Structure 1
């Protein structure tokens, strides 16, 4: 059997989209899980990274926290959290994915603040800017491309990993895949492939959208600098 072709046929059937528990319902659940997980990750990772980057300290803390959270297997968290008072459903999935989203947000926020030219900061301080004004008017605007890049990475990672929500009855596009496995590979192979294609396409769409946002929020002079760095041969000065 050509499962890929059959998967495309399955996706082309309107009933598979509109029936209860179909692709539209599962897509909505997937996006809801992703939104809340990334939002919580932003509320934790971005302020911490910005604060540490502004202070110019805590690089070791950022590396340690990022490595620890990366080392935590998401599937293991999804297995453990439902056994706590949190229970099954979307909440343990959102918590696990929020933990997964923190490292790129934290690391990029810290790197963005630390990448601001020290001479630029000294000039701003010399003009009488306070620490808070320096952060708001100089450091954050120049760090916006890094913040957007961290958000882009976190969103794509969470979209792809949210497929595991099906293991704790959390919904999402993973339900399409597991339902196909429940039918058996000979009967549900097309549905399994269709679910996988849907996840891949959603991840690519999120990547494209956030790449566009990242470009829009990057000031034009910084875009020029980045292009020059890319065009410069390796090893030149």
Structure 2
């Protein structure tokens, strides 16, 4: 079942969205403020986020900005703001869609389905030497699965979810090992070396898993 996080501070709208989405077969999580939304994204791993811009603590822009430092979950912004500037800012920060209030449930459901289809098309990453199947949580070389440890897979999945983008060392440690390991940069060196040994044609001259000294790592498909 697809899990949707609804981030909305207005009780009536939040309740209406929850009832409508559940009636159409979605699992619904609720957050009434930005900090709760970020925590829910970290702990509950929603498949899609409906994000209001006018929240009582953090703005929706700030929630989106923080979320995009570590997650590629589809985000549809819901806002009463009709100005093009807000829409441009939200999309530039990584929103997948922008819906202005008031809106009909049928329109919103169509946009949810569209965002889900776009996310599914990015679940397989094909390179010249291997295939990363994010949906099945496995890597294939010549059609055969490669054995990765849970940590190796999680590290690869985080990098592969943002192809071509530099992922900082602290972000990687936070996502893969947790906040308590943010200073353990040696972990990254060891596990990236393991991934290169298993996936790179020439591990000493990596083609896919690149180190940016002092900054982080980049996956280039």
Greater RCO structure (CA 8 Å; 6+ sep) = 1
TM-score in terms of structure 1 length: 0.27
More strand by share: 2
Q: Over alpha carbons, which structure has the higher Rg?
A: 1
TM-score in terms of structure 2 length: 0.28
More helix by share: 1
